[in-house]
Amino acid sequence: MRILCIGDVVSQEGVEFLSARLWELKRRYRPDAVIVNGENSARGNGIDEYAYRQIIDAGADIVTGGNHSFQKKTAALLHEESKRLIRPANLINYSAGKGVLLLDFGRYRLRVINLSGSLCMTECLNPFEYAQRLIETDSDAITVVDFHAEATSEKQAMGYFLDGRAALVYGTHTHVQTNDARILPKGTGYMTDIGMTGVRDSVIGKAIECCVHNFRFPDQRMQISDAKGSCMLCGLFAQIDEKSKKCTDIRPVLVDK
């Protein structure tokens, strides 16, 4: 099966760029499933019904989340009611919605698992123990993991931990695409971070001036605003052999104009 994954869509700018450009990526890669991380898609971070609907209308099949999933007041209800929306399965303080989504393609089933890392992230249950438990429950499905984590070391460790058991493990959250898409020794497609979809000249999608100010003057922090300007789209494309459930091809995706 062919899978297209798109990194964190940031703000209305990112959502509009996704809406404008996803169709041509779908024509080029012909994916069976499109997985989009939407944790920053609402204005000022988080996800709301408006942004979620736009991402689905753009052509996403599954929308994943992260530490910002429950930032908006309406998020709990949105996660309860939205069939194609998931959030990290191992969050501690949030119970609305689900962290795993199963799609039945007839000949095979796709299982998407969203997990949060434990280093410098929202408090969560141990992602490795959680992954171990989940992976054992349905070893028959083609498993894809969006590992929403800050530390490259934790993401690499998760890749090797699931090597040969998940078809694809990729990172989200840091918004900077890494140059390491590859197939691990036991057949799992892996990429440390697939990057973001949003304004190119920004600090991870936010306005440069306020981010620089807040780093310079941590005692006089100002409100961070969404960046404006030309956008880019980052993600990955992977091909999975349905029988062996191993990855046979993985490539970074970057639309930068």
Considering the complex, what minimum distance in angstroms separates the CB of residue 68 from Fe ion? 5
> Do 64 and 36 meet the contact criterion of CB atoms below 8 Å apart?
yes
Q: How many CB atoms lie within 10 A of CB 72?
A: 19
Angstrom distance (rounded) from CA 168 to CA 248? 10
Q: Which of 65, 66, 127, 198 is in the footprint of Fe ion by CB under 5 A?
A: 66
Q: Pick the closest to residue 87 from 105, 69, 107, 111 (CA basis).
A: 69
Considering the complex, what minimum distance in angstroms separates the CB of residue 39 from Fe ion? 5
Please state the length of the chain.
257
Q: What is the CA radius of gyration of the chain?
A: 17
Has 68 been annotated as catalytic? yes
Q: Which of 72, 87, 165, 173 is in the footprint of Fe ion by CB under 5 A?
A: 173
Q: Which is nearer to Fe ion, 173 or 245 (CB)?
A: 173
Q: Which of 67, 69, 122, 188 is in the footprint of Fe ion by CB under 5 A?
A: 67
Please give the structure tokens belonging to residue 17.
């760029």
User: Which part of the chain contacts Fe ion (CB under 5 A), choosing from 28-36, 166-174, 217-225, 244-252?
Assistant: 166-174
Q: Which is nearer to Fe ion, 37 or 239 (CB)?
A: 37
Chain centroid to Cα 85, Å, comes to 11
9 phi and psi angles, rounded to 5 deg:
-80, 120
Total number of residues that touch Fe ion (CB under 5 A): 5
Q: Pick the closest to residue 161 from 178, 148, 147 (CA basis).
A: 147
Chain centroid to Cα 4, Å, comes to 11
> Do 146 and 161 meet the contact criterion of CB atoms below 8 Å apart?
no
Considering the complex, what minimum distance in angstroms separates the CB of residue 50 from Fe ion? 18
Helix and strand counts by DSSP (H, E) for the chain: 6, 12
Q: Which is nearer to Fe ion, 1 or 5 (CB)?
A: 5
Q: How many CB atoms lie within 10 A of CB 33?
A: 19
Considering the complex, what minimum distance in angstroms separates the CB of residue 169 from Fe ion? 17
Q: Counting contacts by CB under 5 A, is residue 163 touching Fe ion?
A: no
Q: Counting contacts by CB under 5 A, is residue 8 touching Fe ion?
A: yes
Considering the complex, what minimum distance in angstroms separates the CB of residue 254 from Fe ion? 17
Q: Which is nearer to Fe ion, 62 or 247 (CB)?
A: 62
Q: Counting contacts by CB under 5 A, is residue 40 touching Fe ion?
A: yes
Q: Which is nearer to Fe ion, 38 or 187 (CB)?
A: 38
Q: Counting contacts by CB under 5 A, is residue 206 touching Fe ion?
A: no
Residues that bind Fe ion (CB under 5 A): 8, 40, 66-67, 173
Active site residues: 68
